[in-house]
Amino acid sequence: MPELAEVEYFRKRWDVGLGEKVRAVQAHGTKRIFRGTDVRAMSRRLTGQLLESSVARGKQMLFRFAGHNWLGIHLGMSGHLRTEASGFGAGKHDHLVLEQKKQALVFRDARQFGRVRFHHGEEAPEWWAASGPEIQSPAFSLTAMTEFVRRHARAPIKAVLLMQSGFPGIGNWMADEILWRAKIAPRRKAGALNAKMLGTLWRSVRFVSRASLRTIGRDNSDPPKGWLLHERWRAGGKCPIHQTVLRRAKIGGRTTAWCPRCQSAR
Ligand SMILES: [Zn+2]
């Protein structure tokens, strides 16, 4: 599933269409990704409008069009954005195509766990305003993070890191990378982290987010060598620090990898 940095990468794929009008909208309106969205109103209102700006927050993207029109996209498991030459033949998984003069902006989602939402109004939609502070923003302070973690004191810390209301954009691999760097066992109860561990956790969250935005988010390149990411899916994958074989188990509903030596349960 695309996480923070991958979402940022895909958001920028549509940058080529900034400042250009939408000439026509093609949408597979009956598909699940449009649930709750009035596809006819969306198509009618977006047609003829300029794409003005876009922003990513966590796993969501918001595209702003002239005339107070907003398009929200969540990539789900398999969604992605790309551009094609104008007039290209849309494939069966190309569920939303915004035709512009020089190119077409395409959202494709084969498995349809993604979501497209439309909002017409002067202010950004409520579902956008309601999400927690972005990890790169000053509002994501150690104090704010600590409060959130304490509210979920009985859950394993791995599960808490996956909660989008507190850690927008953090997904499975990022959560594992963060805990490995912070030397915290993924099963440890969130309420059992002391102040020092919370400080380390906060720094790791910021570091992993920033570093992955600079690599994956910029040009889809890999984070540097020495990250757990490169080992976690590999059979016999080892801790990059001292070559201990990684453990794996389901925690918080997701396959979790950790180093039993770095991340001792005690
Ligand atoms: Zn280790």
Q: Ligand 1 centroid vs 228 CA: distance in angstroms?
A: 9
Q: Where are the domains of the chain?
A: 4-129, 142-258
Q: Ligand 1 centroid vs 173 CA: distance in angstroms?
A: 16
Q: Ligand 1 centroid vs 180 CA: distance in angstroms?
A: 8
Reference 39, options 7, 5, 83, 71; nearest CA is 71
Q: Ligand 1 centroid vs 79 CA: distance in angstroms?
A: 34
Q: Ligand 1 centroid vs 243 CA: distance in angstroms?
A: 7
Q: Ligand 1 centroid vs 262 CA: distance in angstroms?
A: 4
Distance CA 258, CA 263 (A): 7
Q: Ligand 1 centroid vs 231 CA: distance in angstroms?
A: 12
Assigned CATH topology for domain 142-258: Helicase, Ruva Protein; domain 3 (1.10.8)
Over residues 110-131, mean pLDDT: 88
Over residues 259-266, mean pLDDT: 89
Over residues 167-194, mean pLDDT: 95
Residue with tokens 């001292």: 242
pLDDT at residue number 58: 81
Could you tell me how many residues make up the chain?
266
Confidence of residue 82 (pLDDT cuts 50, 70, 90): very high
Residues 26-68 have pLDDT tens digits of 999 999 999 999 999 999 999 999 999 999 888 889 999 999 9
Q: What is the pTM of this model?
A: 0.77
Assigned CATH topology for domain 4-129: N-terminal domain of MutM-like DNA repair proteins (3.20.190)
107: β partners: 81, 96
Distance CA 201, CA 207 (A): 10
Over residues 243-256, mean pLDDT: 94
Q: Ligand 1 centroid vs 241 CA: distance in angstroms?
A: 5
